[in-house]
Amino acid sequence: MKTIFGLILFLLVGTTPLALAKTPGEVDIGATLREAPMQGLSGPSRLLSEYRGKPLIINVWASWCGPCRQEMGSLERLSRRYGGKQFTVIGISTDDYPDKAMVFLQQYKTSFSHFIDTRLFLENMLGADRLPLTLLVDAQGRVLGKFYGAKEWDSPEALATIRKAFRIQSESM
């Protein structure tokens, strides 16, 4: 009897899809980001809605995160080459201390805007339970994709993903 019960339990658990844990208030892919004040780190504070009207790439990082360090150079190259034309790139630091985040930015000489999220509101809304996290957001604020882990954002594969998500003609990017 224990064997049969164990087999039934195994089959039930084995065939039931496990729900991935979400951060509190996380916005799913396909949903629109809520309004959020963003505390300026490398420039003035802004509202998230101020970025509407053009596709947006949001990178969530922390100064202590090795993979974040690994991909920051490719985000900078992507921003310098294509940012502002077809889309905007911004960074969101999850550091507790702005001074540590500033040292990181000075070290990597980033030119795109960065904000700091010491209250975890953006971190939770974006779903940053692992870092780095990069989101592709359309001009209306709808989340098109979430990518966890370090990527080479200026690689041909990443550029193809961005072009497809934002429906950019390949000649212009």
Question: What would the pLDDT profile of 16-65 be if each residue is shown by its tens digit?
Answer: 333 457 888 899 999 999 999 999 999 999 999 999 999 999 999 999 99
Residue 9 falls inside a structural domain: no
Domain tally, the chain: 1
Who's near 153: CB < 8 A, 6+ residues apart?
57, 71, 74, 75, 77, 78, 134, 162
Write the DSSP symbol of residue 48.
G
Question: What would the pLDDT profile of 81-100 be if each residue is shown by its tens digit?
Answer: 998 889 999 999 999 999 99
Residue 148 falls inside a structural domain: yes
User: What residue numbers bound the domain in which 51 lies?
Assistant: 26-172
Residue 1 falls inside a structural domain: no
Residue 3 falls inside a structural domain: no
Question: What would the pLDDT profile of 133-167 be if each residue is shown by its tens digit?
Answer: 999 999 999 999 999 999 999 999 999 999 999 99
Instruction: Specify whether the backbone of 29 is left (phi greater than 0), alpha (psi in -120 to 50) or beta.
Output: beta
Question: For position 153, which CATH number holds?
Answer: 3.40.30.10
Residue 40 falls inside a structural domain: yes
Q: Are 68 and 61 in contact (CB under 8 A)?
A: yes
pLDDT of residue 171: 62
Residue 127 falls inside a structural domain: yes
Residue 92 falls inside a structural domain: yes
The three-state secondary structure class of 13 is: helix
The residue among 37, 52, 33 whose CA lies nearest residue 117 is: 37
The residue among 134, 8, 16 whose CA lies nearest residue 68 is: 134
- Cα–Cα distance measured from residue 122 to residue 127, given in angstroms and rounded to the nearest whole number: 8
Residue 20 falls inside a structural domain: no
**17 membership: H or E segment, kind and range:** none
